[in-house]
Each structure stands twice: as structure tokens, then as C-alpha cells.
Amino acid sequence: MVRFVLLMVLTANVYAAGSTVDIDTAAKIYQAAEIREQVRASLGAMPEHIRQLFAADASAQLSPPQLDAVTAAAVRGFRIDVFEAPALQSLAEHLDASTVAKTGAFLASDLGKRMVSADVVLATLGEANIDKVMNGETTAPSTPKRDELIDKLERATHSTESTVDIFLSMGESVAVGTAVGSGMDPVAVEARAHKSGEASRAGLEQNMRAPMRRFMAYGYRDLSDSDLNHLLSFMESAAGKRYNTAYNASMSAGFDAMGRRTGEQLGESLRELAQASMAAPPSSLPPAGIAAPPPVLPH
């Protein structure tokens, strides 16, 4: 399902109290959905995005060596091996045997395979092309009926909400990690980042809904209206809803882990730079804008 690209969950805990599955079982769904391939495609752009957020924070006024430390920390933090363990654990915790069976059957079907293939192609378009799609410069032919189907599918999968939530949550993780690594008070930093993120949530969702629908429409341009109807039926089924929740929770857990790793690496580097220069480390890090999603979103 198209996400993020694109990527937390509004209903992340709805099924958390139910039975779960083991990691090996969850891994089968993870592999069938080709989540690794989609996430890996989004990681290359993350170091530059994180650097830009810190560079744009006028209150911090980071030096070139400090910005280089931001980039280096993001390179070490945003890695697929950092993502996968927590993502798989969360996926297992949010699935049950019935959902695995029905979702596995769907993903193994002709429509399921074509959906996953479209997702992978979309995730690997590259930042410039993804921007063009989300901005409406590159579009797919459509009709009022098809637009309606895409709208319903976007809402059924919580595509916009989950994307925004993933990046708000990831931003908090970067903030907390930075605080821990640099010796700042992580509780205070987390509270500030959370407050900033929540203040921006409604506006982010409003601004992103149309781009996310364009993204979904373009990605599924080769699926027929009948295909979209069948896809919508699965996503609105009990199994589809639980899979959607598990998928989003998995993405959030993985990106949270990468964000925290990045923050910890950055905090340590900034502290070392400060000690080397006998200067105090920046006291206002990380910037509030760390919670805002970039133009290119992981799926």
C-alpha cells in the first residue's frame, strides 16, 4: 500500500491486545510486501534532509564541522539494518494468525503482486521524480470515478495520517537521541519536540492529503478501476485493517529506531566537537522543524 512515499498510526494500539505471531511468521509478510526494498529506497535522501533541517535552524547557528557531524550521524543512523529488527518485532506484535493467512493470500494473488510491484517502483523513482508526482507536475490519466476510488483508498489506508505520524514520531526520536548523546535532559527535549510536532500535525495532514493522493494515483496508474475496487475491499476488510495497522506500526518502529540512533550519534559528535574547541555545545538542539516530514516520504 502506498504510504509515505513515502513510513504514525492513528489506531496503532487498536489490536495490540490481541494475539500476536512470531518473528519468522511476520517476516513472511514483510518479505511478500517487499518492505525492505521500499524502505531502502528512501534512506539515501535522509542524511541531506536532516542536515537541511539543522542548517535552517537560525537559533543554533551550526558551524560547518557541526553540520558535517549531522550528516555523518544520519548516514550511520538511517540504515536498513537499524530499521529491520524493531520493524519486524512491531509487525509481529500487531498481527495475528488469521490476518497473516488472509494477507499472505492477498499478497500472493495476481493483484497483490501487482500492487507490491507498483509500490516498489514508486518508492524507487528518485527524489526529483517523486517531488514532481506529489506536486502534480507528473500525473496519470484519471476520471471522476477513479479519483473517487483513490480518495477512498487513501483514507482506508490512512496514508496521509500515517506518513505524518511516522515523521513526527521519528523527529521526537532524533530529539531524544541527541539529548542522550550530548548529555542534555531528554525529558525536556522530548516534551519540546512533541509539543512542536503536535502543533503542526493538523496543518501537515491538510497540506499532504492531496499530494499523497496524487502519489497513489500515479503509483497505481496501471491498475484498473476493478483492481482498485478489489484492493479497497481488502483494505476495508477486518484482515486488511489489521494489516494496515501492523504495517504502519512497523514503519513507525523502524524509523523511530533510525531517528534515535541518528540523534545519539549526533549528540556524541557535538559533545566531542565542543570539548575539542572548549566551547559549549548548542543548547537549543535539535530544531523544532525536525518533526516535519520531507518532500520525499518513505513507503
Q: What is the pLDDT of residues 11-26, one digit of tens each?
A: 333 333 445 899 999 9
Nearest in space to 80 (alpha carbons), one of 32, 120, 43: 43
Amino acid identity for residue 80 in this structure = I
Contact 201, 164 (CB under 8 A): yes
- State the DSSP string of 202-269: HHHHHHHHHHHHHHHHHHTTTS-HHHHHHHHHHHHSHHHHHHHHHHHHHHHHHHHHHHHHHHHHHHHH
Which residue in this structure is represented by grid cell 534512506?
Answer: 43
The angle at the Cα of 188, spanning 184 to 192, to the nearest 5 degrees, equals 115
pLDDT tens for 216-257 read 999 999 999 999 999 999 999 999 999 999 999 999 999 999
Q: Grid coordinates standing for 86?
A: 524493531
Average pLDDT over residues 4-9: 37
pLDDT given at position 287: 55
Cα torsion angle, 35, 31, 101, 21, sign: negative
pLDDT tens for 198-211 read 888 888 888 889 99
Which residue in this structure is represented by grid cell 492477498?
Answer: 106
Cα torsion angle, 119, 120, 121, 124, sign: positive
- Cα 41 → chain centroid: 12
pLDDT tens for 43-53 read 988 898 888 87
Average pLDDT over residues 58-78: 87
Contact 253, 13 (CB under 8 A): no
Answer with the residue of higher pLDDT: 170 or 282.
Answer: 170
Say which range, 83-87, 130-134, 200-204, 221-225, has the weakest mean pLDDT.
200-204
Backbone torsions φ then ψ of 223, nearest 5 degrees: -85, 135
Q: Grid coordinates standing for 231?
A: 484492493
Q: Grid coordinates standing for 6?
A: 513515502
Q: How confident is the model at residue 181 (pLDDT cuts 50, 70, 90)?
A: confident
Answer with the residue of higher pLDDT: 186 or 213.
Answer: 213
Q: What is the pTM of this model?
A: 0.83
